[in-house]
Structure 1
Amino acid sequence: MNDPRPDTPDTPDAADETVTDGDLAVLATQLGRTPRGVVGIAARCPAGHPLVVRTLPRLDDGTPFPTVFYLTGPSVVAASSTLEANGVMREMTERLTVDEELAAAYRRAHEHYLAEREALGHVVEIDGISAGGMPTRVKCLHVLVAHALAAGPGVQPLGDEAIVRMAADGLWDRTRCTC
């Protein structure tokens, strides 16, 4: 199957994770609070607004924070919530128990996530724990979608699948700004 996700999204320098004061202001509006632990914008919409932030594994107040990729774009957050409400997480978890290839790819995504977080610092309290239910179940599509958007196609299979499903269902399209 061809992946309809663009390999290089039409965004301002997708590899540049620089966080500007403007980004922080947008994030505060998206989140409804002051963003915490932000070290990069890991994915942007085609207009350049933050979709995913890269966060430190330990917040300024000392709290361990396992979610290195945090989904912030309102439209993609809503689309993820809709998929969750429609039972997609349960379907995906069931497939992990019978599809060995998918389970292996999901385990590799878990390892990738851990390596990305470890590159930001070691936090013993969350050592070996990724996010979103990885590596054995699907607990949070928001995390898997954030990981897929940050890492690019082919790293997070269930996040990639959720993004394709969002587009197919008319919930969210990576190639259009809906901010």
Structure 2
Amino acid sequence: MTSRSTDVPQPFGVGEPATDEDLRVLRAQLGRPARGVLGIAARCVCGRPTVVVTAPRLPDGTPFPTFYYLTHPAATAAMSALEATQVMPELSALLEDPEVAADYRSAHGRYLADREAVDVVPEIVGFSAGGMPSRVKCLHALAAHSLAAGPGVNPIGDLALERSTWSPSRCQCVVIDDGE
């Protein structure tokens, strides 16, 4: 993917279309039906969904700013475990480095561009996810963005993935019977 300029983020898109099997797996992963699924932005090495692309406005009309949603149970557990280590102040302190802060602001801009390429929802304009662009709030959202956009786009999401016990290169899926 090439950017039109260094100042204008190029939208990532909505990923691959979700299949009926993907929706079944998502239901099992989340423990409920997935809402507003536009596509699958990242997959486990075994092919199961890891990050879903969610509509900026859910079918019931609710604004939904989390465009990239981490669904893989092992990945979400690893991000929760990492957050429990009180790493957030350390990662937030990295934003004092002007280069890291600029990269993080750029990630925020890219996230917004990706979501607004699908729909502009007035209630969430300017809000991305995970605390971007000025703080670190949710590693789940930041890791999802890194997995969807690829390495080098979101510096804090990349660090969260590097420091977690979960790896996108190793299947840690558990087959869950969703009752269907």
Same fold (TM over 0.5): yes
DSSP 3-state at the match of 2:79: helix
Equivalent residue, structure 2, for 1:121 = 119
Equivalent residue, structure 2, for 1:147 = 145
Sequence identity percentage: 61
Match runs of 1:23-172 below 5 Å: 23-96=22-95, 98-166=96-164, 171-172=165-166
The 3 A distance-change label for structure 1 pair 117 and 16 is: closer
Deviation at 1:93, TM superposition (A): 1.0
The 2-side partners of 1:88 and 1:148 are apart by 18
Tell me if the contact between 2:15 and 2:53 (Cα under 8 Å) persists in the aligned partners. no
The 1-side partners of 2:15 and 2:143 are apart by 19
- Match for 2:168: what amino acid? R
The 2-side partners of 1:152 and 1:131 are apart by 16
RMSD: 1.1
The 1-side partners of 2:84 and 2:15 are apart by 34
Match runs of 1:14-29 below 5 Å: 17-29=16-28
- Match for 2:90: what amino acid? E
- Match for 1:77: what amino acid? T
Deviation at 1:120, TM superposition (A): 1.0
- Match for 2:171: what amino acid? C
Structure 1 runs not aligned, ≥5 long: 1-14
DSSP 3-state at the match of 2:136: coil
DSSP 3-state at the match of 1:39: strand
Tell me if the contact between 2:68 and 2:144 (Cα under 8 Å) persists in the aligned partners. yes
Deviations 1:46-71 (A, max 9, x none): 00000000010000110000000000
- Match for 1:112: what amino acid? R
- Match for 2:105: what amino acid? R
Deviation at 1:150, TM superposition (A): 0.2
TM-score (norm 2): 0.87
DSSP 3-state at the match of 2:159: helix
The 1-side partners of 2:62 and 2:28 are apart by 23
- Match for 1:32: what amino acid? G
Deviation at 1:116, TM superposition (A): 0.5
TM-score (norm 1): 0.87
